[in-house]
């Protein structure tokens, strides 16, 4: 970013008066990360951001925003007084986006949006100056922050968009005004707040609300809910998925422990490889490849980009237990779709020993919790997973379903405050050549079990 403070005043339609016209080279809202050249936005969170302005000043910021309902300070740096800090944040982001004028790719989905964002950015960076959402900064703060911190020479901006309520994606799409809108898939994440997958699909479709008229909608063509809604979208469309009715699909998938290779219908002569496990990640790669194709990236360049990929937040991580057993850890997030995907992927991986699974409650599923926990039963069988360990109130429903398949020596259930007992049991059972999965929502705190095992 590069902008004079008087330009900020002009964008926000505020008289600058005798203000010192300092140069702004970035924005921040976390005083701990403030640096020289930054314009500080004291956003309202759990605490009022104005409380941290002095800290931001000590870290070298060039100027700060100040909301008019607070006492005007006698600051050591110039300040811009506005009626609403959040609105000023968004207004400045929209202006800067138009000023730099990159092509904007917006990505959302119940699962896979961060991975897909990283894949798109990696592929497009083979021929463009690309900026992307850092980590998973995908809300009303993260999207303007991403825009305002992109370099002035950015040619393509890849923006991740998350949601926890209707209307949120529409709002984010209005800020970013995308040229390409991507939906990875529709799952059950946040179903507690939306009630049904239909309503989740409606909310995700808001990503096309502000799609440019000559833009393109890229989505998972295996999902009937998206196919149905796409009929109302007037812009150009392209689909990816596992079925051959999609524009791009995988014709051959070879799963591995840390990599997955695949071929496609459009470039059958090429073997593509991604440095991660799971057919679900192949779908993410296909979405990114479609965006690459639209951007005239050569398939060989996409092939190399995917092979060299480094993912921002690959929550599924291979680790080693103290006794040498392999641990597949995903202890910070879980929903039915994600759980089924990782279970199916683990089935396909060849191991020398047994496969054991530890599943914690999947939270924020609302009234559908019992049914959705029970639904995992059809993906868990004795021939694939030797022993099953379940944790939490809702996993009791899955235990009841699995009791017909497993005897009491191979199926265990623990209260969420019995992690110590679970850990003791696992240490007794786990053998050096075993492979064990730990997956659950962060509220179950399976990371404590993981720590003890390693």
Annotated binding site for ATP: 109-115
**Burial (CB count within 10 angstroms: exposed 0-12, middle 13-18, buried 19+), residue 101:** exposed
Across the chain, which distance is largest between two alpha carbons, in Å?
79
- φ and ψ at residue 44, rounded to 5 degrees: -85, 120
Strands (E), 221-276: 236-241, 248-255, 260-264, 272-274
Phi, psi of 390 (to 5 degrees): -120, 145
Which residues fall in the annotated binding site?
A: 109-115
- 3-state DSSP assignment of residue 122: helix
* C-alpha–C-alpha distance, residues 430 and 450, integer Å: 13
Within 142-240, residue ranges assigned H as helices are 142-148, 168-176, 191-194, 197-204, 224-230
**DSSP-assigned states of every residue in 11-74:** HTT---TT----EE-EEES-GGG--TTEEE---BSSSBGGGGHHHHHHTT-SEEEEETTSPPP-
State the residue for tokens 């009303």: 140
Tell me the C-alpha distance between 272 and 249, whole Å: 12
DSSP 182: E
Q: Tell which residue, 389, 358, 362, has the closest CA to residue 374.
A: 362
Burial per residue of 397-418, b for 16 or more beta-carbon CB atoms within 10 angstroms, e otherwise: bbbeebeeebeeebbbbbebee
Query: Tokens in use for 265?
Result: 């219908």
CB atoms within 10 A of CB 369: 19
Contact 95, 278 (CB under 8 A): no
Closest CA to 256 of 272, 241, 271, 278: 278
Compute the chain's Rg from CA coordinates: 24
Structure tokens at 409: 């020596």
* φ and ψ at residue 182, rounded to 5 degrees: -125, 130
Nearest Cα to Cα of residue 349 among 404, 299, 278, 248: 278
């Amino acid at each position: 970013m590069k902008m004079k403070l008087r330009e900020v005043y002009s964008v926000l339609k505020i008289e600058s008066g005798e203000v010192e016209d300092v140069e702004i080279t970035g924005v921040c809202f976390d005083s701990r990360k403030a640096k020289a050249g930054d314009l500080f936005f004291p956003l309202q969170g759990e605490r009022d951001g104005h409380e941290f302005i002095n800290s931001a000043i000590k870290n070298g910021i060039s100027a700060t925003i100040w909301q008019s309902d607070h006492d005007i300070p006698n600051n050591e740096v110039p300040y811009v007084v506005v009626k609403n800090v959040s609105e000023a944040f968004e207004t400045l982001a929209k202006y800067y986006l138009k000023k730099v004028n990159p092509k904007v790719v917006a990505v959302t989905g119940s699962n896979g949006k961060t991975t897909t964002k990283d894949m798109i950015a990696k592929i497009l960076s083979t021929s463009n100056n690309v900026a992307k959402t850092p980590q998973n900064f995908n809300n009303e703060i993260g999207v303007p922050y991403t825009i305002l911190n992109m370099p002035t020479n950015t040619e393509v901006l890849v923006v991740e968009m998350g949601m926890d309520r209707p209307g949120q994606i529409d709002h984010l799409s209005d800020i970013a005004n995308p040229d390409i809108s991507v939906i990875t898939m529709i799952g059950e994440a946040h179903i507690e707040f939306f009630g049904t997958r239909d309503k989740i699909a409606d909310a995700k479709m808001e990503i096309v609300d502000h799609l440019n008229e000559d833009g393109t909608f890229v989505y998972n063509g295996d999902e009937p809910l998206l196919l149905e809604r796409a009929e109302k979208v007037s812009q150009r469309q392209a689909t990816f998925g596992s079925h051959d009715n999609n524009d791009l699909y995988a014709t051959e998938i070879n799963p591995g422990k840390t990599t997955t290779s695949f071929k496609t219908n459009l470039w059958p002569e090429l073997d593509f490889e991604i440095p991660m496990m799971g057919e679900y990640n192949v779908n993410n790669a296909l979405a990114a490849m479609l965006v690459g194709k639209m951007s005239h990236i050569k398939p060989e360049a996409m092939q190399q980009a995917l092979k060299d990929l480094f993912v921002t937040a690959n929550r599924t991580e291979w680790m080693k237990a103290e006794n040498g057993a392999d641990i597949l850890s995903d202890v910070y997030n879980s929903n039915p779709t994600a759980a089924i995907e990782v279970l199916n992927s683990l089935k396909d991986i060849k191991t020398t020993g047994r496969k054991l699974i530890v599943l914690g409650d999947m939270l924020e599923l609302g009234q559908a919790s019992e049914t959705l926990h029970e639904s995992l039963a059809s993906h868990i069988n004795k021939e694939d997973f030797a022993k099953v360990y379940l944790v939490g109130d809702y996993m009791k429903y899955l235990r009841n379903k699995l009791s017909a398949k497993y005897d009491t020596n191979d199926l265990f259930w623990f209260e969420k405050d019995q992690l110590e007992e679970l850990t003791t049991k696992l240490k007794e059972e786990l053998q050096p050549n075993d492979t064990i999965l730990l997956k659950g929502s962060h509220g179950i705190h399976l990371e404590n079990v993981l720590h003890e095992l390693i």
